[in-house]
Structure 1
């Protein structure tokens, strides 16, 4: 008998724990094909069955320091190897990758290219092919580099057009499941692992994760990812503009393009945008990129983006009652717009058949910068939409908000018509929702003012000019709703379904107002059950509450007086047939016509209709 095998011991029937697990009083768990239990594999300890004599564990002092360090290094190396295997296992099969690589390059796959370099520089390069983009790093690569490829694949699939989804039916899983699996694997194994993300590439992975969540409409997850990224950047002292040799950079390619100010700018830019969208505090990361010295060396597009970032910060910090601050920000945004040539502000034609992939990418980036500019203007002036003053101090804000909302919806229609990807750039959907709400508010006020003209002869209504633009405004709002409803039709798009559920009754309220029904409108800033965009019907479906983060809740309630008679006509001269009694508000009815001789039949009908309207 070979003496190399130790003599077996008799153990009690059913005993399965190894000696190490017995000492630790934990249960042994074995994988199907493994001879080492999961606990010993994780700890790097010997997994010895109780069938064999227990080997006494040497004391720590009896093991040389070099041996102990070597064992630790081996254990660490083993754990990274296992992590790399787990990440690689999340990668689709080569057959699935071959199918995915036949698709046109998704726009979302390239928009993270400006994280480490300015867009003005990255736009000079031709984008890589899908085959180049979706190639795993060589074996033995750092787990962060594998995770980065998983995230890039996720953003690539985010931009898949519905017309191309049919080509993905032969995948082993649905393309949405593949997209979610690769991204969640990278997040679970790497971007939330503090030991792995302390490198520039690790920081980049978190920022791509945040962009992915933002494009998918998961704004709170994106905001929290940006907070993690900001913490990592501060630990590496990037906010001080440092680029020391000790800074951990995993690849030579990253070392060649690394720019700490550029990364901090992208961090602050995304953070400010998400804070505005959600009404949450912004980070305190220093903004060295916005100094006058830094702006001098920027290309116009990069300079405008940095000014936008600074203005977003001022909007978040400003006191809405300080109109001079609002006007100052407005003036600076006008100067930012003037950084670009006038024709740069035209709506990009993304459907042109003669444009190549690079040109479409550049035009999309231009469109996104336009959206950013108009978003800031809407946020700046939205708080004054429901305010009034005898000196017309809020008129400029109201008119600006209306004009900017039109510009936003025109671009939304152009963008979603040419790029209707369901899981990409959902921020544009939220902006379209805000813009539609602003236009509805303006037309409701315009309708109420025109009714006021008849009763009070007040010719100074700020929105009186909207009467002639109402048909075209209504048309683009209806087209916006059609696009969002088409996205919600499949039943898997929760964001589009939510927005559509708000916009349908909102547009119905606007249409009812034109037909003669009037509404009282007010805003409130109380605590809401939900922190994101939402709406709910009230008063048996006759009212609507619309919540917009950072602004508050807008309440539309049916039940104000609606009259239709010639401008300047006296109430006493109105005949019975001239009265339009829809949605009569009794209090307003009484205050307006107290002391006026009203036909008994008209008064009785008014009270009857009011009671019927609830």
Structure 2
């Protein structure tokens, strides 16, 4: 053993204390790792020098061999090795100079380099907890984004004010604000404030993301005019910091962008329960902001992490297993809207096997989601399915869901009902009605032979608008709840009624037009109230489009210009108006005289009824539902429209 130390060779290499129990010849660390416990031997200077020289010789010999191999490869492909080496040296010098000016963590974004470093971690334990190990701590990139999110956190007093102003809306959040996995106590402002503070200081990517996403949910519901409490930009450059004088949308983009990177890092390292919760919170945020495609993307990642950590194998009626059903059910609902496939097959044991202990609402959500899977399967293969499959889905929905759900929702909510109760009740009813709508919508426009599907679609769209009105107009909290996707679903249902009324304008088959238009006008007023309370592109554009078609139907205002409108995830409409402005504006609503249009006046409607959309359209970009619906979009774009019709106005 070397003079002055009692450590064995293995403990010295690990840089840990070497402890021998009384009467034991092997230290505790070697016994724990099942390693050979050898004492350190004194190496003579002469022997050490010889070993060093031999090592240098072997290294030089190996380098010569590698140089010869590289030279042969370069000659075979006609590459000038000397010129390439000079260029590489120059590029490396430029890169080092730029890194000194503004350091970035580029190595974390190079998969091959990360693979090499991870392999070194597995082959040797001399890393001593370096940052390249996926389990040894946050990477440099994670640390940068964690610091950015910490900088985006409001001050203590401002955070307390934000939480107090948005406390009524916490109940609709799908994840409790807690750092533990146990049943969390009722949330209060001090507890949530402590949760955000502790999570931000934890240094764990998933925990920091969870706190940032919870804060984003609160900021979304901050009343109009309170942006002054939001943080301003610091002097340090960080990856997600918005510009100076942060607006609400800029702070939200910073929180969501930074959290997404951290959740990705957590998923890449195998996933954690906090990462799954963060993914669900991400989805909730994007749904509220009218970005369903982004919501579908992040919840798919959360489902992958949930499968990896075995969440579906746990008890589905107790936490954390109770997180699993909302994940796959929500993902299917969004996939049906977007016309995309779903993630988990209905044959998966967690879906196909009957779960005990579910209440009536949970069972209804489960049964609806199973039928949604069948709807998506049909839409993905619509050119190879028969109409009898649609009739079968309708019968299954009516038998397993509609009748029990009507009994469940037959009793109206009391005036004192909480926001959480009203929200979950409306969500369940809307999920059911949206499923029924998408069962029949394709065939209601596809052929005149399917009058039953057309009647079902019109009826369910009216019910959707009634459900929307009953929820939104209940009280101030239900009106101010941020959910752009809910507003868009109501708008889409209203557009079906609009097309229906124009389609049968001069026919009794359209039914009394006053009933549908009164319902559309009520929804328009509600959307107008929402627009007045906050900046919302979905509600404001919905109001513009519905008002335009109402004026067009009843001949109000100036309608001498043709319009083109692309309704996201629905279809496109071109209105061509011919004739003089005097004729166009000459409708007398009191006398109920038919409007006078030129012979070429018409409304051309193209609908992707089976929900398959081109990825070249503006509403498939980052803005999604917030994009401009009346912008100049190429009418001849790469669409997959399944129904089109030209509707004359006379």
Q: State the TM-score, normalizing by the size of structure 1.
A: 0.64
Q: Which runs of 5+ in 2 are unaligned?
A: 1-90, 109-119, 232-245, 556-586
| Count of matched residue pairs | 462
In structure 1, the residue matched to 2:458 is 402
- 1:56-455 equivalences in 2 (<5 Å): 67-71=126-130, 76-77=136-137, 79=139, 82=143, 84-107=146-169, 110-113=172-175, 127-134=186-193, 135=195, 136-137=197-198, 139-140=201-202, 142-160=204-222, 164-166=223-225, 169-172=228-231, 173-191=246-264, 194-195=267-268, 198-238=271-311, 241=313, 257-259=319-321, 262-285=322-345, 288=348, 293-318=353-378, 319=382, 322-335=386-399, 336-340=401-405, 342=407, 344-345=409-410, 348=413, 352=415, 354-355=416-417, 359-387=418-446, 389=448, 394-417=450-473, 418=475, 419=477, 424-450=482-508
Aligned CA RMSD, in angstroms, stands at: 4.4
In structure 2, the residue matched to 1:508 is 551
Question: What is the DSSP-based 3-state SS (H/G/I as helix, E as strand, rest coil) of the residue aligned with 2:354?
Answer: helix
Question: What is the DSSP-based 3-state SS (H/G/I as helix, E as strand, rest coil) of the residue aligned with 1:294?
Answer: coil
| TM-superposed deviation, 1:77 | 4.0
The worse-fitting range, judged by mean Cα deviation, of 413-422 and 332-341 is: 413-422
| TM-superposed deviation, 1:146 | 2.0
| TM-superposed deviation, 1:344 | 1.4
Q: Which runs of 4+ in 1 moved over 6 A?
A: 21-25, 39-43, 420-423
| TM-superposed deviation, 1:309 | 0.6
Cα separation, 1, equivalents of 2:406 and 2:642:
36
Residues 552-574 of structure 1: per-residue CA shift (max 9 Å, x gap): 56555435xxxxxxxxxxxxxxx
| TM-superposed deviation, 1:503 | 2.0
Cα separation, 2, equivalents of 1:493 and 1:331:
38
In structure 1, the residue matched to 2:7 is none
Cα separation, 1, equivalents of 2:299 and 2:165:
30
Cα separation, 2, equivalents of 1:82 and 1:537:
41
Taking structure 1 as reference, are residues 74 and 229 closer, same or farther at Cα in structure 2, changes over 3 Å only? closer
Is 1:558 aligned to residue 618 of structure 2?
Answer: no
Question: What is the DSSP-based 3-state SS (H/G/I as helix, E as strand, rest coil) of the residue aligned with 1:205?
Answer: helix
Cα separation, 2, equivalents of 1:73 and 1:333:
52
Cα separation, 1, equivalents of 2:505 and 2:603:
12
In structure 2, the residue matched to 1:6 is none
Taking structure 1 as reference, are residues 40 and 270 closer, same or farther at Cα in structure 2, changes over 3 Å only? closer
8 Å Cα contact 2:290-2:483 kept in structure 1: yes
Taking structure 1 as reference, are residues 234 and 94 closer, same or farther at Cα in structure 2, changes over 3 Å only? same
Q: Which runs of 5+ in 1 are unaligned?
A: 1-20, 32-36, 44-60, 244-253, 451-460, 539-544, 560-582, 584-614
Residues 450-470 of structure 1: per-residue CA shift (max 9 Å, x gap): 3xxxxxxxxxx4x4xx22xx3
8 Å Cα contact 2:299-2:331 kept in structure 1: yes
| TM-superposed deviation, 1:200 | 1.7
Cα separation, 2, equivalents of 1:137 and 1:288:
37
The worse-fitting range, judged by mean Cα deviation, of 188-197 and 72-81 is: 72-81
8 Å Cα contact 2:461-2:497 kept in structure 1: yes
8 Å Cα contact 1:106-1:158 kept in structure 2: no
The worse-fitting range, judged by mean Cα deviation, of 367-376 and 192-201 is: 192-201
8 Å Cα contact 1:219-1:274 kept in structure 2: yes
Cα separation, 2, equivalents of 1:380 and 1:255:
30
| TM-superposed deviation, 1:65 | 5.3
